[in-house]
Amino acid sequence: MSRIGKKPITIPSAVTLTQDGQKISAKGPKGELNFTLPEGVTGKIDGDVFTVNPLVINKSGVSLWGMCRTMVANLIEGVTNGYKKELELKGVGYRAQMKGSMLSMQLGFSHDVEYTAPQGVTITAPKPTSVIVEGIDKQKVGQVAAIIRSYRKPEPYKGKGVRYVGEYVRSKEGKKK
What's the confidence (pLDDT) of residue 40?
Answer: 86
CATH number of 83-164: 3.90.930.12
Burial tier of 42 (Cβ tally within 10 Å: 0-12, 13-18, 19+): middle
CA atoms within 13 Å, Cβ hemisphere of 127: 7
- Amino acid in the structure at residue 26: A
What's the confidence (pLDDT) of residue 61?
Answer: 80
Q: What is the DSSP string of 103-145?
A: EEEE-SSSS-EEEEPPTTEEEEEEETTEEEEEES-HHHHHHHH
- Please, which residues have CB within 8 angstroms of residue 110's CB and are 6 or more apart in sequence? none
Rounded distance, CA 46 to CA 34, Å? 19
Indicate where the chain has its CATH 3.90.930.12 domain(s): 3-80, 83-164
According to DSSP, the β-strands at 161-164 and 83-90 are: antiparallel
Question: Which of 3.90.930.12, 3.40.50.200, 3.90.930.60, 3.40.50.1980 is the CATH number of 3-80?
Answer: 3.90.930.12
Rounded distance, CA 101 to CA 115, Å? 9
CB atoms within 10 A of CB 77: 19
- Please, which residues have CB within 8 angstroms of residue 166's CB and are 6 or more apart in sequence? none
Which residues in the chain show pLDDT less than 70?
A: 1
How many residues can be counted in the chain?
177
- Distance, CA of 138 to chain centre: 3
- Please, which residues have CB within 8 angstroms of residue 86's CB and are 6 or more apart in sequence? 130, 131, 132, 133, 164, 165
